[in-house]
Amino acid sequence: MSSGNAAATAGAHEPWTVHAALLGAQTGFALFPIFGKLALTTIPALVLAAIRVVAAALLLEGARRIARARELEPADRKAVFLYGFLGVSLNQVLFILGLSLSTAINTTILTATIPIFTLAIAVLLGHEKLSSRTAVGMALATAGALWLLNVHRFDWRSQTMRGNLMLLANALAYSLYLVLSRPILARYDVLTIVSRVFLYGALPILLFTAPIVASFDPRPVTKLSWMSLAAVILFCTVFPYAANSWALARTHASRVAFYVFVQPVIASVLAVAVLGETITARTVVAALLIFAGLAVSLVKGRLSARPFP
């Protein structure tokens, strides 16, 4: 029996552990827009991206060594570098830049398009079949994203518009990572892949941000921003990535889909309470459309029975 099948069997005997891991992961992801916004008050976006990814890569590599997870085979390194570029390099830079320009509420709503993008890519690559349920779900989610973008009044000069577009590009890059990296997770421990994805993904970010990081002056950074950065690394990156990957290796997409709904609820409440953001009618309509699309497409197990990576 493969490690993945064994893990799934073990998880079936302790379902509460899978649910706890998924709930914890989504809570961690939901906290990122909040702590990220607080950190960004005095830390530049690209500096934040570089510190976050490098710190997470070092912590995950340390966890891999402690767990004595196997090394990556040389023949798989090119593929994993691509996964790192999509799932970490593009994902992190676009997400943090988008967050810096948009709102925490918009960020968490647009992040919820990731499962829809994932399903669409899987259909285009022939991994999934396009059903009427899938088509309706994609149409609803697309309508919600377009409504939030306010495309009939497109203005590239709008900071929020640019941020929202970067967040959608981030969702697309991460969805490509999810679909393309599925096969390799059947052959490795989750910690091996996640640690290497972060390690390889950190390299392009460091090259891209090197001039900005080199000129970064930490003296104006407030204590609140440093504490928020630490929370982003530990509670919003290392823990949720590890918990989500552990759970996704033990359950199916139909079970995972429900927990995507938790993230915007937590993030929106905290964005209003902590950051003083306002939930507008446009935001509510967009969220309802996106999550209706997510529910139609995924909740009843439209995705393959194979677990997410």
Q: Would you state the pLDDT for residue 10?
A: 42
d(CA 99, CA 109): 12
d(CA 139, CA 52): 34
pTM score of the predicted model: 0.80
**Lookup result for tokens 């827009």:** 33
49, pLDDT greater than 90 = yes
Highest mean pLDDT among 83-87, 135-139, 278-282 belongs to 83-87
Measured between alpha carbons, how far is residue 51 from residues 173, 205, 265 in Å? 20, 10, 28
- Residue 251's pLDDT band (boundaries 50, 70, 90)? low
Assess contact for 161 and 110: CB atoms under 8 A.
no
Q: pLDDT tens across 192-231, in order?
A: 888 999 999 999 999 999 999 999 999 999 999 999 999 9
